[in-house]
Amino acid sequence: ISNSNDDRGLTTALSVGSSKISAIYGSIHSDSIDFEVTPEILA
């Protein structure tokens, strides 16, 4: 996942579930976010 200016990240899920994501750069720590993968719904 990239968080560069004007850039978007891409993730690939391997299964349904949830996780917290955060970043550390040197002594700087970001807040964490909840990341959830839900079952696919075909329309």
Distance CA 29, CA 21 (A): 11
In this predicted structure, what is the pLDDT of residue 18?
92
Higher pLDDT, 32 or 4: 32
- pLDDT confidence bin for 24, thresholds 50/70/90: confident
Average pLDDT in the 13-39 region?
Answer: 89
- Strand locations in the chain, DSSP E? 17-21, 24-25, 28-29, 33-37
pTM for this prediction = 0.47
Share of the chain above pLDDT 90, in %: 16
The confidence score (pLDDT) of residue 41 equals 87
> Which whole-number Å values give the CA distances from 7 to 1, 4, 10, in the listed order?
10, 5, 10
